[in-house]
């Protein structure tokens, strides 16, 4: 009996020693610092945004199609009926949720790059505005962060102004994705939607349009500042019809977020990209960024590069219901001059050299 008790005592002593050793080892491991936790939150914020824009629409569509052939078939049927009933809502003001713009996740998203908004002139709440956003980049990070989220303080910098952002109309045909876009204040880049915002919502509205669009994304690469703008005059015509002032803006650093395989003009791959763009409305870019686990690996996340969006001086535009081609050309030229002035006055402040030029095609 004494032998058994002695053995048990020895085992208990050994267990206590093992537990104490394990605790010492655990306490010796350095806990993540506040900086490490912040970096992780920033990475997760960017990850959810990229996955939402690249996959949410397609995954939702495939999921609803799958549910049609299960016992839950009533869910996609009811949602389809809702979409048919709600079809025109994206072009009639949408369903913007102010609380979504104030999510803490957008502050982590902003700090990942970081993104900064710079004001050069006041915008009066007694007018409406069309803000030209340049350049397009790959995923329009600067335009989204500044004009959709409240993380960079747009409403504080421009009191009384409500900002909106336009995107491809096809995105609003995808289930669930359309609800996500509308809740943030995104609208189709169509005459009807823009006209509604500029005529039916009073004054103090600023509609941001990424004018270069999909065609401009094909030329996106670090160190290149080329815009597709010479023949893009629809936004000027809309401004004249509604008397909306034109405001140039430029996001310095937007083209540095990804690396892209750029095919030369005239190559067969370039022609495929152009044809796809005309049919689908967007261009299939072959790009890559950093990986999820390391900034040295390749993946689909943007590199952490600073983006500074500078909003320029508003160009006063008269209200002309049926503007002539000459009038549109005149204000288009004035807008280009204002954009070039904005670029040249700020390029050396935000990462470019004095010799860098803005090329407009």
| Tokens 């920033």 belong to residue | 42
Count other Cβ atoms within 10 Å, centred on residue 188: 22
Give the Cα separation of 1 and 206 in Å (integer). 88
pLDDT at residue number 61: 92
pLDDT at residue number 288: 79
Flag residues of the chain having pLDDT under 70. Answer: 1-18, 20-31, 220-221, 223-224, 262-285
pLDDT at residue number 264: 62
What CATH architecture applies to the domain 35-360?
Answer: 3-Layer(aba) Sandwich (3.40)
pLDDT at residue number 213: 83
Give the Cα separation of 134 and 142 in Å (integer). 9
Give the Cα separation of 308 and 353 in Å (integer). 15
Give the Cα separation of 171 and 242 in Å (integer). 26
Domain locations in the chain? 35-360
Closest Cα to residue 281, out of 361, 170, 191, 203? 170
Runs of H (alpha helix) within the chain: 2-28, 34-51, 57-67, 74-85, 98-101, 104-112, 141-147, 154-157, 177-184, 191-199, 213-217, 234-242, 268-280, 325-346
């Amino acid at each position: 009996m004494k032998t058994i008790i002695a053995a048990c005592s020895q085992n208990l002593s050994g267990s206590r020693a093992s537990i104490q050793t394990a605790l010492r080892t655990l306490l010796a491991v350095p806990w993540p610092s506040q900086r490490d936790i912040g970096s992780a939150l920033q990475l997760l914020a960017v990850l959810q945004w990229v996955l939402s824009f690249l996959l949410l629409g397609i995954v939702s569509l495939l999921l609803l199609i799958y549910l049609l052939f299960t016992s839950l078939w009533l869910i996609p049927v009811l949602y389809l009926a809702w979409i048919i009933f709600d079809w025109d809502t994206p072009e009639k003001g949408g369903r913007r949720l102010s609380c979504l713009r104030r999510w803490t996740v957008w502050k982590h998203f902003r700090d990942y790059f970081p993104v900064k908004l710079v004001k050069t002139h006041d915008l009066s709440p007694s007018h409406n505005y069309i803000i030209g956003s340049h350049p397009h980049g790959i995923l329009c990070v600067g335009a989204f962060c500044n004009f959709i989220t409240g993380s960079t303080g747009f409403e504080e910098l421009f009191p009384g102004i409500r900002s909106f952002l336009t995107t491809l109309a096809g995105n609003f045909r995808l289930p669930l994705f359309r609800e996500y876009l509308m809740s943030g204040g995104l609208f189709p880049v169509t005459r009807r939607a823009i006209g509604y915002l500029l005529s039916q919502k009073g004054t103090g509205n600023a509609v941001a349009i990424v004018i270069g669009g999909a065609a401009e994304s094909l030329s996106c690469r670090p160190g290149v500042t080329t815009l597709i703008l010479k023949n893009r005059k629809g936004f000027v015509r809309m401004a004249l019809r509604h008397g909306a002032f034109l405001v140039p803006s430029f996001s310095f650093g937007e083209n540095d977020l990804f690396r892209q395989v750029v095919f030369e003009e005239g190559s067969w791959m370039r022609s495929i990209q152009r044809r796809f763009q005309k049919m689908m409305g967007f261009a299939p870019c072959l790009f890559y960024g950093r990986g999820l686990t390391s900034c040295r690996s390749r993946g689909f996340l943007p590199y952490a590069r600073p983006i500074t969006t500078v909003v320029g001086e508003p160009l006063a535009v008269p209200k002309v219901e049926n503007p002539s081609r000459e009038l549109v050309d005149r204000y288009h030229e004035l807008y280009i001059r204002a954009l070039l002035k904005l670029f040249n006055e700020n390029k050396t402040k935000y990462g470019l050299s004095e010799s860098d030029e803005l090329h407009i095609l």
